[in-house]
Structures are given as structure tokens and as C-alpha cells.
Amino acid sequence: MSDSQTQFIDISQLRIGLHIHLDTGWMDHPFPMSSFTLRTQEQIDMVRSLGLGQVRYSPDKSDAEAVQALDPANTPASIPAAEETAEMAARRQRRDLLSSQWASLHACEHKYASASRSYRKVIETAHSRPGASREQSENLIKGFLDEIMGEHEACIRLLSENAEEKNSLHSLNVTIISLLLGKTCGLTGQDLVDVGMGALLHDLGKIELPDRLRWNDEKFTSPEREIYREHVAHGVTLGQKMGISKGALLVIGQHHELADGKGYPQHITGKQMSQPSRIVALVNLYDNLCNPGNPALAITPHEALAMIFSLKKSQFYASTLSQFVHMMGVYPPGSVVQLSDDRFAMVVSVNSSRPLKPRIVIHDAGIPRDEALIIDLEDEPDLGIRRSLKPLQLPKSTFDYLSPRKRICYYFERAREISTPGENA
């Protein structure tokens, strides 16, 4: 349809069923496409929040009822008034669900991009305006806490990799997972704020290091390794200048300590670490395993979790590790798996209330990649996960379809509500 066949309507006239066109840049709205059919009141509210006075809509791409309610004279003759068939209803239901899932994903990605920009400002102003840097950090953590402490439960959502966010990816991942783990461990109030602030700023001291020493490398010489480890002390000093809380400073100072006393810089044990520090130290290692400085050394989220539990269990406080494994599930977001019916899939979301029933995207050659639905294994009693795979073990067609991420990136997503008390995961 050409632009001449679309019509403008006032923003107040939006209604479910209208196919609209947003004449703004992609980053100026949270929807997956700039042209789509409104299917929920939430979408209408989001469009109205963009500050537009009018929007274009396509009468012949809209639902007949919506066009007729808008203006009976605009109902195209080509739109039949016949009852919806079962096949039409199934297609509409799938289209509505896909639209809702894409809207949710892009809303998460939009928020993540905003958080990444805020984090970069924190780093850029840490030296020149430490007070402003602290305030920016506090605002970012407050926003995160609003996401996870609201009316609905939050879960961990896998996002698309964005090369522009590489420098902030690790700190944001650690912050997001640490806040959810802190909540899972029962932390509230200032303790939870300390988890967030400490996680966000745990690597702040690396801005004092030479660029080539900012990512840990097994090939470091002993002097280089000592210089790298100084980022902990640098971070505490910068945190003090910013005026952050004592609890957050402890997290920065202890995020490389281990429960067995073999961490650094003070070689303290788990009992001597603060609870926020135990949380961030564990999450920091997990994300470094999934997102090392050299992507070629990355292991899958499932492998990282298995390695920590089987080989590094003594390095972490037992209750913290147990809560982490429960929250992340056996197959954390980003894991590539083979299902019990031999199909391949990628885990995209985990609800800690149902750690063995993640949400997945399945490779189905009969469905276009951009139309693949997220399947909740909670709704599929006869379908389960058989094993985890490395991405390179996938057939090429499956690899191209699922597009496993070289770097794992997370954000908060609203979790599925628990419908039955005492229901097993």
C-alpha cells in the first residue's frame, strides 16, 4: 500500500484492530516494526506515550470492526463481514501472540540500551564529577529495583547482542542478575541497594588501568597480573570519592574474594564477606565465564553453571550458590538445547519459580525465523530438554535460525504468574 492510501487520525482515536504506521526513527519507539496492527490496550498506551499528535493508519490492513467503529464510511468493500473461521482465528491468535512477544522483547532491548547509556555516563563522570556519577548510578539502580520489586515477578530475559554495548555489557549483566539473586536470597532495603550499586561499579577501578590490562588474561605475566588486580583498590578509592555507601564499597572491595580464602586482595573467607559481596562475587565469575575478554574462550551458560557447581563449589557460600542455581535454572538463558522430540531450541527466559520449565525458541523449518514463537515448557507436559549443546554442535540451518549469541546479554522481563499455589516447577 502506498502512503497515499493511508489516512491520518488523531492519537485519541486509536483502538485495537487498527493497522498503524509510526513515522519516527526505530529507536524512538519500543515496537519491533514501525508498521503493525494494534492488538492490546498496552500497545495503544505506549503509542500515546510517544507524544505524537496524529498517526497514519491503513484501512484495508485493519480489522473491519475497528475501521467501522472509527468511521463506518471508511470500511473497505473488500473486507468481508463473514464470521471468522477457525483457521482465521488460529492465524489471528498466532499473529497477536507474536506481536505481543516482539513488543515485550523490544521494550526490554530499549530499556537495556537506555541503561547502557546511563552506565557510560557514570564511567565518564566518575573522575570529573564524582557526585553526579553517584547520583546517576543511584537513579539507574532505583529504576532496576522498580522493575523487580513491582506488582509482578521479574525473570531473566536473553537479549540480542549489540556490539555498541560491549563495554557496559558485563557490568549491566552482573547488576541485573545480582539484583534478582539478592531478592531471591531475601535481601531488602539498603542491602539490595548495596548489591545493585556494588555490582554496577565493581569494575570501576579498571578505568585506571592500561586498556590492554582491563580484561583478565591467563597469559599475563606476574607483574601484569598484579597491575590488573589493583583495579579493586582503584575502584574502592573512586567509590569513596563518589560518596557511595559502605555496603557498596565492601562489594567493590570483595568482588574477587572467595569463600575458601583463595581470592584477592585480602584472602578473606566467605564468613568474612558481606552477603551482597558473596552474591556479586558469584555472579561476576559466572558472567566472566560466559563473556570473557576473548569470545573464543566463552562457554555456554549451562556449562558455566555446571562448572561452578561441580568444580568451584568450595569458592562460594553454599546458600548463595544454591539460590543462584535455583534461580538460573539448569539451563540458563542463552543455553542451546536438544528437546525430548529431537528438535533444537534456545532458552530465552527463565522464571525462578519454575527453573526446570524455561521459555524457549524452537527451530522449525516450516516457520519463518521472524515468526518463531516463544514456547513455555510449562505448557508442554510431553516436551522436555534432553541435553545441552555447544552452538557449534548444531546443524548449520539450526545455527542460522537460532543465531546463538557470541556474548550473552540479559535484562528483566515480567515473569509468568503462578496460577496454582504449591504448583511444582
The size of the chain, in residues, is 425
User: Is residue 388 scored above 90 in pLDDT?
Assistant: yes
**Cα separation, 165 vs 143, whole angstroms:** 19
Contacts of 137 by beta carbon, 8 Å cutoff, 6+ apart:
122, 197, 200, 201, 242, 244
Distances in Å between the Cα of 350 and the Cα atoms of 3, 263, 359, 364 are 42, 30, 6, 21
For residues 259-285, give the mean pLDDT. Answer: 96
Helix (H/G/I), strand (E/B), else coil: 87: helix
Distances (CA, A) of 207 to 44, 163, 203: 43, 20, 8
Residue type, 383: L
Q: Is the pTM of this model over 0.85?
A: no
Q: Are residues 57 and 7 in contact, defined by beta-carbon separation less than 8 angstroms?
A: yes
* Residue 2, pLDDT score: 44
pLDDT of residue 419: 43
Position 23 pLDDT exceeds 60: yes
pLDDT-wise least confident of 39-53, 165-179, 239-253, 314-328: 39-53
Q: Among 136-150, 294-308, 411-425, where is mean pLDDT lowest?
A: 411-425
pLDDT of 83: 62
**39 CA to centre of own chain:** 24
The CATH-assigned architecture of domain 96-414 is Orthogonal Bundle (1.10)
State which of 92-106, 131-145, 295-309, 371-385 shows the largest mean pLDDT.
131-145
Sorting pLDDT into bands at 50, 70 and 90, what band is 95?
Answer: confident
Positive or negative torsion for Cα 165, 167, 170, 172: negative
Q: Where are the domains of the chain?
A: 3-79, 96-414
* Angle CA 394–411–286, to nearest 5: 65
Specify the pLDDT at position 281: 98
Grid coordinates belonging to 104: 515485550
How sure is the predictor about 87, in pLDDT bands with cuts at 50, 70 and 90? confident
Beta carbons of 321 and 125 less than 8 angstroms apart: no
pLDDT higher at 323 or 154: 323
Q: Under 8 Å CB-to-CB from 103, ≥6 apart: which residues?
A: 30, 31, 32, 42, 43, 46
Region 231-250: mean pLDDT is 98
Cis peptide before 265 (omega within 30 of 0): yes
